């Protein structure tokens, strides 16, 4: 069998230090695998690997110590058991997600469902460099959207039904940015200060603070690597229906301006945040 290391890497087989051995990277969306997939991975790792699997820092999974002679068999047996291979190089990588509103009491958006949709639409799309996406259900940021090339975090604009307020003052006490002050026994909200974290809605004992509008905040340009940097806010509030358009616009910007192997954040810094934000605004405006 002839080995093309670059092609194998692109297709999810990463060369190890140990001669002739590869770690096979698996496709995982939002950190979830079905029990059937886990069983398949178990069987393949037992048959061809070294008795263990490796969990990556981005909710991915790898089976180490696959001998190059078994690469085709491993690929086929994984696929037959419903497990797809991961990708490397200049592509959209596996999408990360926290539990989101499906399970977590703090969640404002269903991060798992969104990550699956993003994965279906954009996984392995070619770009000049690696492109990582993460979705968090709220701005507690458990899925670390700020460390990714593009990150989404659920946000919630609160709405007040004053007649239900019992004037306890809890919302004013716990608002992390002091956007609420008590005036004549009732909360007064500064929309300018509010970061749409939704904490007042979760905590209000009488239900006076209710869900206004849910959406996502968008961060771009985050990376770890050799020159780590947290992403910056590209859009502070966006409807979740605009997520595909925001990703399309970012990938188009990357393809138009990026150099080979350059990180997305570096591209934005070189071309200018203003230009990138303009492109995002155009792509995600209400009637776009
Ligand atoms: S980011 Fe928010 S929704 Fe997601 S797990 Fe953390 S607290 Fe829950
Ligand atoms: S937490 Fe709810 S009940 Fe208490 S002051 Fe705020 S709005 Fe009113
Ligand atoms: S949503 Fe968050 S930032 Fe806005 S008023 Fe409520 S607690 Fe404060």
Distinct helix (H) and strand (E) counts, the chain = 9, 11
Give residue 135 CA to ligand 1 midpoint distance, Å: 10
Q: Is 166 helix (H, G, I), strand (E, B) or coil?
A: coil
Contacts of 156 (CB under 8 A, 6+ apart): 108, 138, 196, 197, 198, 201, 211, 212, 213, 214, 215
The alpha carbons of the chain give a radius of gyration, in whole angstroms, of 22
- What beta strand segments (E) does the chain contain? 13-15, 21-26, 54-55, 61-67, 96-97, 133-136, 150-160, 180-183, 186-189, 209-220, 232-238
Pocket residues: Cβ below 6 A from ligand 1: 98-100, 104, 106-107, 111, 136-138, 140-142
- To test the ligand 3 pocket, which listed residue (179, 191, 214) has its Cβ within 8 A of the most ligand atoms? 179
pLDDT in tens, the chain (288 residues): 556 888 888 889 999 999 999 999 999 999 999 999 999 999 999 999 999 999 999 999 999 999 999 999 999 999 999 999 999 999 999 999 999 999 999 999 999 999 999 999 999 999 999 999 999 999 999 999 999 999 999 999 999 999 999 999 999 999 999 999 999 999 999 999 999 999 999 999 999 999 999 999 999 999 999 999 999 999 999 999 999 999 999 999 999 999 999 999 999 999 999 999 999 999 999 776
- To test the ligand 1 pocket, which listed residue (96, 102, 136) has its Cβ within 8 A of the most ligand atoms? 136
- Cα 25 off chain centre by: 18
Nearest alpha-carbon partner for 61 in 81, 38, 77 = 38
Instruction: Please answer whether residues 54 and 64 qualify as being in contact, where contact means their C-beta atoms are separated by less than 8 angstroms.
Output: yes
What domains are defined for the chain? Answer: 10-80 (3.30.70.3340), 96-156+214-284 (3.30.413.10), 158-212 (3.30.70.20)
Contacts of 129 (CB under 8 A, 6+ apart): 90, 254, 258, 260, 261, 262, 263, 264
């Amino acid at each position: 069998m002839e080995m093309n290391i670059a092609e194998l890497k692109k297709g999810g087989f990463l060369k190890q230090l140990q001669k002739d051995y590869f770690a096979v990277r698996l496709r995982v969306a939002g950190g979830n695998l079905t029990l059937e997939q886990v069983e398949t991975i178990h069987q393949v790792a037992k048959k061809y690997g070294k008795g263990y699997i490796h969990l990556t820092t981005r909710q991915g999974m790898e089976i180490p110590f696959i001998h190059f002679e078994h690469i085709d068999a491993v690929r086929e047996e994984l696929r037959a058991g419903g497990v797809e291979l991961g990708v490397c190089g200049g592509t959209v990588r596996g999408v990360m997600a926290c539990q989101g509103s499906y399970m977590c009491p703090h969640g404002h958006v269903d991060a798992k469902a969104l990550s699956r949709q993003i994965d279906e639409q954009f996984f392995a799309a070619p770009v000049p460099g690696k492109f990582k996406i993460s979705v968090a259900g709220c701005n507690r940021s458990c899925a670390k959207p700020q460390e990714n090339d593009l990150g989404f975090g659920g946000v919630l604009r609160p709405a007040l039904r004053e007649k239900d307020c019992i004037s306890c003052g809890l919302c004013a006490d716990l608002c992390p940015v002091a956007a609420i002050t008590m005036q004549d026994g009732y909360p007064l909200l500064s929309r300018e200060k509010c970061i749409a974290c939704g904490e007042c809605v979760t905590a209000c004992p009488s239900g006076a603070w209710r869900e206004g509008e849910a959406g996502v905040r968008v961060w771009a340009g985050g990376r770890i690597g050799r020159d780590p940097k947290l992403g910056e806010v590209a859009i502070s509030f966006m409807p979740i229906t605009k997520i595909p358009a925001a990703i399309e616009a970012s990938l188009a910007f990357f393809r138009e301006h990026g150099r080979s192997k350059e990180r997305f954040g570096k591209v934005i810094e070189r071309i200018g945040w203003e230009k990138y934000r303009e492109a995002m605004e155009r792509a995600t405006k209400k009637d776009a």
